[in-house]
Amino acid sequence: MSKTKKEKKVRVVSVGLGILIFVLAFGAGVVSKVAIKPAWAQKYAVTWSDELGTLKSDLPYGEGEANRFDLYLPKDGTKDSYGLVVYLHAGGFTSGDKADDRSTLAWLCGKGYVAAGINYTLRTEEHPEASVLSQSNEIKAAVPKVIEAAEAAGYHIDKMAMAGGSAGHALAMIYAYRDGKDAPVPVVFTYGAVGPSSFVAEDWGIFGLGQDTEESRQAGAGLFSVMSGKEITPEEIKDGSYREKVHEIAAAEWVENNPIPTVVAYGALDKVQPFLASLRLEEALKENGVDYKYFVLEHSGHGLQNDSAVSKLWMEAIDEYLAKYMPVK
């Protein structure tokens, strides 16, 4: 076999392994939601009704089929200005829908915020080109349209928060830290749970990455290529130059660009979003003097299912920070 053919075969195998890992790891890792919710959680999950306000569904922000958002406008439309909370859905970058978070968005709207859920192009057989990078850029394109729609409805937006769960949390952090300075209104707060915030191969050992073997480097190249939307080779994994290609989607590396208040939660036993990767986020928050709260659920995985008391503290902190940094006037 010629060297060119051999290199081509290795690249194909690498990408194939990456896609397989991506689908297995994230497609099933939908979320930081538990099937049976404790009593305290019921206040944060509200059934939508017209008593809360007005829901405008499937408003377009781009040409793609998935480029739609839902806008929740509070009942009282007489205030001079409103805070906007964007909450992005989970689903491992490969599934999910903005409607999945209707109860969360209803809770936010009921508190007096304009709220929005945004869909983005998922990585599927129909859209194999989709990546965390392309999805983050769709969110960047959507936010001005969300604000325009709110303004057109008579709700002036003067500040905003970005939030989400799992994949949506990753995208929310990318927007908050990477793109927040260019937002139409100040992004003053971000919160969420179990979203991957960094892509350093050594941290992803639960998938066999970061090992000094050709197979590990191939898998790492494949997975990070899929996520970053850029071709990464095993050689780049070996010499570390891949870090430049994943930088755009590594939220922890952008904290210094817009070091805003942050509340996050991670499961120490997470087998979907590696817990080690989240430690880089906390390090960045500390280094940049961010007002933050970082909750570790020691007995929980990706679903944050086994530490109800800590989950309650996390939600109470979200409520506290919303009131502090985006008070309803």
* Better-scored residue on pLDDT, 81 or 34: 81
Residues for the chain: how many in total? Answer: 329
The answer on pLDDT for 279 being more than 60 is yes
The pLDDT, as a whole number, for residue 314 is 98
The answer on pLDDT for 241 being more than 50 is yes
Portion of the chain with pLDDT greater than 70, in percent: 89
The pLDDT, as a whole number, for residue 261 is 98
The pTM of this model reads 0.92
Q: Strand 157-165 relative to strand 262-267: parallel, antiparallel, unpaired?
A: unpaired
Mean pLDDT of 14-36: 44
In the three-class reduction of DSSP (H, G, I as helix; E, B as strand; rest coil), residue 157 is classed as strand
Rounded distance, CA 250 to CA 56, Å? 32
Rounded distance, CA 56 to CA 35, Å? 28
For the chain, give the mean pLDDT: 91
The pLDDT, as a whole number, for residue 220 is 96
The pLDDT, as a whole number, for residue 3 is 45
Q: Where are the domains of the chain?
A: 46-198+250-325
As a CATH number, domain 46-198+250-325 is 3.40.50.1820
At 28, the pLDDT band (50, 70, 90 cuts) reads very low
The pLDDT, as a whole number, for residue 329 is 85
The pLDDT, as a whole number, for residue 20 is 45
At 36, the pLDDT band (50, 70, 90 cuts) reads low
Mean pLDDT of 38-51: 95
The answer on pLDDT for 27 being more than 90 is no
Q: Strand 157-165 relative to strand 292-297: parallel, antiparallel, unpaired?
A: unpaired
Mean pLDDT of 138-164: 98
DSSP result, 268-286: TT-TTTTHHHHHHHHHHHH
Q: What is the pLDDT of residues 212-232, one digit of tens each?
A: 999 999 999 999 999 999 999
At 112, the pLDDT band (50, 70, 90 cuts) reads very high
The answer on pLDDT for 63 being more than 90 is yes
At 160, the pLDDT band (50, 70, 90 cuts) reads very high
The pLDDT, as a whole number, for residue 29 is 42
The answer on pLDDT for 76 being more than 60 is yes
- Which of 17-31, 41-55, 246-260, 267-281 is the least confident region? 17-31
Rounded distance, CA 132 to CA 204, Å? 17
The pLDDT, as a whole number, for residue 103 is 97
Question: Contact 270/301 with Cβ under 8 angstroms?
Answer: yes
At 243, the pLDDT band (50, 70, 90 cuts) reads very high
In the three-class reduction of DSSP (H, G, I as helix; E, B as strand; rest coil), residue 293 is classed as strand
Portion of the chain with pLDDT greater than 90, in percent: 88
Q: Strand 114-118 relative to strand 82-88: parallel, antiparallel, unpaired?
A: parallel
Question: Contact 93/139 with Cβ under 8 angstroms?
Answer: no
Residues 243, 246, 247: CA angle, nearest 5 degrees = 80
Q: Which helix (H) or strand (E) holds 321?
A: helix 308-325
Question: Contact 185/191 with Cβ under 8 angstroms?
Answer: no
The pLDDT, as a whole number, for residue 37 is 76
Which residue is it, tokens 């350093």?
200
Mean pLDDT of 54-74: 98
The pLDDT, as a whole number, for residue 8 is 43
The answer on pLDDT for 7 being more than 80 is no
The burial class, CB within 10 Å (0-12 / 13-18 / 19+), for 52 is buried
